[in-house]
Structure 1
Amino acid sequence: MSQQAAVTVSNNSESAVKLKEVDLKAVNSYTEEETYAPEPHLIRLLNKIKSYTLTPGQYYGEPGQGNSRLISILSSIGFVMLWALVTEAGWVKPLFLPSPISVAERFVDLWVEGFAGVSLADHLVASLTRVFGAFFFAVLTAIPVGILIGCNVWVRGIFDPLIEFYRPLPPLAYLPLVIIWLGIDETSKITLIYLAMFAPIALSARAGVSSAKSEQIQAAYSMGASKIQVLYHVIIKSATPEILTGLRIGIGFGWTTLVASEMVAAEAGIGYMVLNAAEFLVTDVVIAGIVIIGLIAYSFDLFMRYLEKKLVPWKGY
């Protein structure tokens, strides 16, 4: 649609204008009376058309715009239905993929009877203690280190090579070293998860510091702010979105490392339950454990998204 309506002037004494019908119909405001209008009304009609005219960004929409909740629910239901179809039709043997009903029944049995002599609640408590204990220590240490790396060249020179060196290593690579140093008790398990979380959180905090604009920092100094005030009111607040993103990534690494940490001398835990069931080919317990871990991790991620909306609403989450 053209941005300006084409007009034609009639030959009668009353100078009148005619707007193209296509322009008025395009904005769903066409009426026969408005097709011919005295000249003073031309601006009013053109403004009406302009108010209904969308910019290219409004017409095509922004990337990721819209609520995907319904899509997520429908896709999840579709996945479960496909899973049920595959298993009920016998395309895959129950040993490799039990049906959703079998997994649900096994979950009820786990809740009532437990697994390997340990109740499901105790398995959950053991795993949650390890993951969130490591997460707590990672938050206390990784965020300050990341901020200092971004603010101080000496700290960056000391910690940046160490973090970048071990960050790509899978936790299983340094698990034997952690066991040699710390033994096989809870300390080694929490430390392994902590190390997996530390790097992404610290690097996200460092990236957040870099997002603080120099103009804002200089403006704060020119208004008499101290270094501590600039650090808190400008740098840390600018880094908050990146830090929250790092926390979400870090807790994800923690859950993926949980199973590895519970491979060694564990007597309880969801990861231990999954590994133990896999040794005896109890596939429904394996899938039930995976679903439990996924639901807990996803619930925490939803909580972190809620915090993002409350703490950094200007980012448009």
Structure 2
Amino acid sequence: MAKEIFDVIATTLWMALGIFAIFALYLAVSGLCYLVWRMISKGRTASGGYTSLKTVTFGDESAVLANRTASVAAVITLFVLWAIATGSSLLPFGLPAPFVGDTSFEYTAQNAAGDSAKAKVFVRVHHADDKGQKKQDVSGMASDGFAQNDSIILPERRSKIIKVQSNDTGGTEDGYRVTHVNGQPIVAEQLLELGDVDVFMTKKGSLSVRPVTGMTMEALYLPPPEKVWSRFVKLNKEGYLGVGLWENVFWSLIRVVVGFFLGCLFGIPLGFAMGLNSWLRGWFEPIVEFMRPVPPLALIPLIIIWFGIGEQGKISLLFLAALWIMTIAARSGVSGVNISKVHAAYSLGASKWQLLTKVILPNSLPEIFTGARVAMGVCWGTVVAAELVAAEKGAGKMIIAASKFQLTDIVIIGIIIIGIIGYGIDVLMRIAENRLVPWKGRG
């Protein structure tokens, strides 16, 4: 138990260090871009608007607007870092790439009689996508004594064990062993770095060969941008598993919009009711506070049992993902209304309906829009899980199916498309908020 806890702590610390290093690098690039931007924009006239009239802006959230130059620079930086880390051919520079090509190493073996002989192992390393490579032919190459030349073929970044004792004359007899590789002594469980390849001797005396992996990420974990783009073009033309790319996206979008709409339709009135009536707040609060921390993914088994594997189950899961967020957002909006505005409305003779429509609703809209943006993000995150429920179409279904075949480029395409659509919806919500709630942050 103590060892397991220690391992978790150690792993967490290493993760924290890695995250800190990546964040520090990204922040350093941000600082450099900021200095360049300041030099370029120096002397330009400051933009006008409501914010420019404020004398104090630090600490005022409404005065902090996104710098579009910084946004563009951030996206370009992410793309460049992605290209560098994956050894993209789009850049004239990058990290050392994994070894691909032909190489060889020489080993010295000693047989049961105590005689020594040398032979070569020819290694051919090919790209992971190139399946048509063949071993080098060593049949016409003379070797020394009982040791026989051999050859292996393996994909980049992968290791392979070669049993030279099975190829050498008398290699299966007791007393046979490999003593040197490229003139360097080697014993069991020892690793030798030979330049293009590393050779490790196993406990049984076999040689495990692994080509140099370089410093770039393997395409299995993160493919380069050009590979993702070529896959996108292919998906756009041919689709995946018989379904077009945009047909998959369309069905996911429909499910998200319908589930989100239902969540708003029931969640906002419920939130208002809880914020305005103590009995209704006490009645619904146990349910809302109980369901709020339950992740939508945990509800999938119940959704399947209750609603089956059709569209009703998927939309129900998305509806529940949005319902509690919108309920709490509406309730918080009502609770955050300045009481002085309520008293002012009553003093002017306003009825309860007028108070609701003229004071409470307008002042609650900022919280409701914030909750809507959060709920939409959660719905997009949930749609992948919702389409686990026997979906035939959908971006989430495409991602999950591709992950089973380790098609990382299709997974990344799906993630990028979902992110872009989600961001576009968020932008539309911001525009609607600016139009419908122009008083946000100004009163």
* TM bracket (short chain): 0.7 to 0.9
1:167 pairs with 2:292: yes
Unaligned runs of 5+ in 1: 1-54
- Give 1:240's match in structure 2, choosing from 355, 365, 368: 365
Q: Per-residue displacement from partner, 1:191-235 (whole Å, max 9, x unpaired)?
A: 001101111111010000011122221221222211111111011
State the one-letter code of the partner of 2:261.
F
Q: Does 1:155 pair with 2:154?
A: no
Structure 1 segments (4+ residues) deviating >2 Å: 55-58, 60-67
1:185 maps to 310
1:202-281 correspondence to structure 2 within 5 Å: 202-281=327-406
Residue deviations 1:95-135 (CA, integer Å, cap 9, x gap):
11101111111111111110110011210111011100101
The answer as to 2:195 corresponding to 1:70 is no
Identity of aligned residues (%): 45
Q: Is the alpha carbon distance of 1:67 and 1:281 closer, same or farther for their aligned partners in structure 2, counting shifts above 3 Å?
A: closer
Aligned partner of residue 86 in structure 2, secondary structure = helix
- Give, in angstroms, the shift of residue 152 of structure 1: 0.7
How many Å separate the matches in 1 of 2:295 and 2:341? 39
Greater per-residue helix proportion = 1
Change over 3 Å in CA distance of 1:257–1:66 after alignment to 2: closer
Residue number among 250, 258, 264 corresponding to 1:139 in the alignment: 264
Cα displacement (A) at 1:159:
1.4
**Hey, what's the Cα distance between the residues in 2 that align with 1:124 and 1:282?**
18
**Contact 1:248/1:301 (8 A) holds in 2:** yes
| 1-structure distance, mates of 2:86, 2:220 | 10
Change (3 A) 1:66 1:255: closer
Give, as a single letter, the amino acid of the residue that structure 2 aligns with 1:177. L
2:230 and 2:223 map into 1 onto residues whose CA distance is: 11
Aligned to 1:126: 251
Residue 422 of structure 2 corresponds to 297
The AA in structure 1 aligned to 2:219 is P
Structure 1 residues 304 and 66: alpha-carbon distance in aligned structure 2, compared to 1, 3 A threshold: closer
Q: Deviations over 1:60-93 (max 9, x none)?
A: 6856635411101101101101100111144111
Give the structure 2 partner of residue 32 of structure 1: none
SS of equivalent residue, structure 1 residue 117: coil
The aligned counterpart of 1:115 is 240
Shift of 1:272: 0.3
Question: Partner letter of residue 282 of structure 1?
Answer: L
SS at match of 2:346: helix
Determine the structure 2 residue equivalent to 1:99.
224
Compute the displacement of 1:136 (Å). Answer: 1.2
Q: Distance in 2 between matches of 1:104 and 1:164?
A: 44
Q: Distance in 1 between matches of 2:59 and 2:246?
A: 46
Give SS of 2:56's match: helix
Q: Which 10-residue stretch deviates more, 81-90 or 184-193?
A: 81-90
Query: Rg larger in 1 or in 2?
Result: 2
The offset of 1:293, in angstroms, is: 0.4
Residue type at the aligned position of 1:161: P
Q: Which gives a bigger RCO, structure 1 or 2 (Cα 8 Å, sep 6+)?
A: 1
Distance in 1 (alpha carbons) for counterparts of 2:287 and 2:336:
23
3-state SS of paired residue (2:221)? coil
Q: Which runs of 5+ in 2 are unaligned?
A: 1-53, 88-94, 98-215
Q: TM-score, normalised on structure 1?
A: 0.79
Q: Find 1:196's aligned residue among 311, 316, 321.
A: 321
1:239 alignment partner, SS class: helix
Structure 1 residue aligned with 2:80: 81
Q: Distance in 2 between matches of 1:226 and 1:65?
A: 37
TM superposition shift of 1:312: 1.5
Once the 2 structures are TM-superposed, how far is the Cα of residue 57 of structure 1 from its aligned partner?
Answer: 3.3
Cα drift, residue 241 of structure 1: 0.5
Deviation at 1:308, TM superposition (A): 1.6
Contact 1:309-1:316 within 8 A present in 2 as well: no
- Quote the offset at 1:309 in angstroms: 1.3
**Structure with the higher fraction of residues in strand conformation:** 2
**Over aligned residues, Cα RMSD in angstroms?**
1.9
**Matched letter for residue 72 of structure 1:** S
Give the drift of 1:316: 4.3
TM-score where L is the length of structure 2: 0.57
Closer, same or farther: CA 280–164 of 1 in aligned 2, 3 Å:
same
